[in-house]
Structure 1
């Protein structure tokens, strides 16, 4: 019963109510009709006989004329026909009422469908602009008002979170840069240091660089909303530039980079570059030695589809949505081995959402993974 829609529930309840009412009326009418038919037959006696046959036609039999010329009506099967006709009418009325109830309930539930369609349009990056219409039926007015208040609270919470992240990243950037400079200076001034000291300084530099990268990414994520998205972007030259930047990493791991297709869209050149770069870099890092990475672009009338495929070990199905969450790692040991802060795919998700698109794991198995990104070719005006 829980899987039945509200419209069908209203329809079935209406049909049941009308059906019970019609059956009760039918039984009462049948009882009343039969009773009065019997009374008429018992009361009419006399000179002639009129026979009502099963077809409903009347015939007169002169041999059955009574001496006193009184008229007698013999009802032949009329009671059975009366009952059958009532049941046919009951079934027809119930069916017609059910059909009418279905369409009437559908019209009555139209505000609820409109509410659901508006709710589906709510995204994290448009909370401030999405307001549910409160000029509706009284039953939905309180629901719409409560939902709008919830959107305001969520928007305030996300804004506070972004502001805190940006402030924290901004404050951490300066001391981290100072630490890096001091470590480099100390290493340059003491070239003949002990091996243990050199190893310790190398570890410090690596961890400081990791923190610096994390801070830079957090700062970028907190400022995404302020980035203009009105540049005309051709993806094929951008992908070739990304392959050039990733050549040292791909050559080190023996991974082959290939590209196919092209597309043109409107957006932020820097952010789309970072989106494709992060996806391709991840595909190279978590690939098998001697594997391959293929970046393909398919242009459609109103959107383009970007696919990044690798020949790695795949992503478990239970983690395929979680990989786009900040700081999530499928294999923590491998992630620390390759560096990074677990924010690369989270930034990809943010950039795709900001451009009105989406990103998902299209397929993944032991033979490799394909991550797809759908992006509109034109951007809506920036609020």
Structure 2
């Protein structure tokens, strides 16, 4: 019973109740029917025996009539009992079928609620509220759920505001630090090797913090970007390949693209999405490897896959790589200049467009990142 759905539990309990009621009624009706049939037979026999004739007179025809009457009564009793059991089984079965469909209709609001809950994402909290004009049993449930969504939306809004404010506050001093370091290096070209290494380290870390601040600021301002432009994915991929060609040439990475498609969204954000995915595929690839971007329509969705020939992502980390500041290999990420926000920003952009991003496949031969956008965000 623990593994059965609520609808099947209601169906089984209703069928058992109907079956028990029918069996009880069958027993009572069967007992009553046998009693009255025996009574009818005894009345008929008594009437014939008191018909005014000599009771000691033996009549073979009367004896044969009594036997035939007894056989008829017993046959009627057996037929009556069998019919009652057939009716009982049919009533229990019909009651179970009706209970299944009626309980399914009664549980429809619960299924609607479950489907609505599955659609909840951090970027659509206000759009997934449940109407409170429902059954009285679900009204308080809906009200509580909507209030929870309001609290979550307020929390995420406060988090975005804090991130944006912090990024704004950090951007100015970091820019000043960069300018001062460059000025100092230009005015003091002949410094000791130790000082030169120290200045280089400061410039690298300042540049890294500047990039992180820029990405945080972009993530906090995603919701303000309109997503109403008509975008051709093929030309965008070619533009990204052109921009990343120097990085690919340093590692002798071959860039390939197949397919094309159009969708509605933000040109700036989708460019950043594909740029981040392609850049990651190049940075964490093997020398003389390949990066392949494929665009295709499948199952009424626009699918974009980015495949590399790197060392792969371990199974436990495939869901975590889209979290902010998460790194599979911290040492390699720092060597490549990453700040741990590229894939997190990609996830935010995909979610803003109503799509889904995931690690479709990963092994020692490479990794495939799959991005899909629903029909309402794409077009043939």
With normalisation by structure 2, the TM-score equals 0.90
CA separation of 1:99 and 1:376: change in aligned 2, threshold 3 A = closer
Q: Which moved more, 1:73-82 or 1:181-190?
A: 73-82
SS at match of 1:175: helix
2:4 counterpart of 1:4: yes
CA separation of 1:72 and 1:269: change in aligned 2, threshold 3 A = closer
Q: Where does residue 21 of structure 2 map in the other structure?
A: 21
SS at match of 2:306: strand
Q: Please list every run of 5 or more consecutive structure 2 residues that lacks an aligned counterpart in the other structure.
A: 50-58
Aligned residues: 367
- CA apart distance, 1:142: 0.2
CA distance, structure 2, for counterparts of residue 84 and residue 164 of structure 1: 78
Q: Where does residue 65 of structure 1 map in the other structure?
A: 62
CA distance, structure 2, for counterparts of residue 130 and residue 378 of structure 1: 17
CA distance, structure 2, for counterparts of residue 42 and residue 128 of structure 1: 80
CA distance, structure 1, for counterparts of residue 179 and residue 43 of structure 2: 121
Q: Where does residue 220 of structure 1 map in the other structure?
A: 218
CA distance, structure 1, for counterparts of residue 341 and residue 84 of structure 2: 73
Q: Where does residue 151 of structure 2 map in the other structure?
A: 153
Q: Deviations over 1:148-192 (max 9, x none)?
A: 100110110000000000000010001111111111111111111
CA separation of 1:104 and 1:325: change in aligned 2, threshold 3 A = same
- CA apart distance, 1:302: 5.7
Q: Where does residue 58 of structure 1 map in the other structure?
A: none
SS at match of 2:127: coil
Q: Where does residue 55 of structure 1 map in the other structure?
A: none
What does residue range 1-383 of structure 1 map to in structure 2 within 5 Å? 1-45=1-45, 63-65=60-62, 73-74=69-70, 75-299=73-297, 303-376=301-374, 379=377
Q: Which moved more, 1:191-200 or 1:73-82?
A: 73-82
Q: Which moved more, 1:320-329 or 1:158-167?
A: 320-329
- CA apart distance, 1:121: 3.0
More helix by share: 2
CA separation of 1:160 and 1:70: change in aligned 2, threshold 3 A = closer
SS at match of 1:44: helix
With normalisation by structure 1, the TM-score equals 0.89
SS at match of 2:200: helix
CA separation of 1:71 and 1:264: change in aligned 2, threshold 3 A = closer
CA distance, structure 2, for counterparts of residue 288 and residue 358 of structure 1: 27
CA distance, structure 2, for counterparts of residue 46 and residue 212 of structure 1: 114
The answer (yes or no) to whether the contact 1:26–1:87 under 8 Å persists in 2 is yes
SS at match of 2:2: coil
SS at match of 2:348: helix
CA distance, structure 1, for counterparts of residue 78 and residue 337 of structure 2: 89
Q: Please list every run of 5 or more consecutive structure 1 residues that lacks an aligned counterpart in the other structure.
A: 50-61
SS at match of 2:45: coil
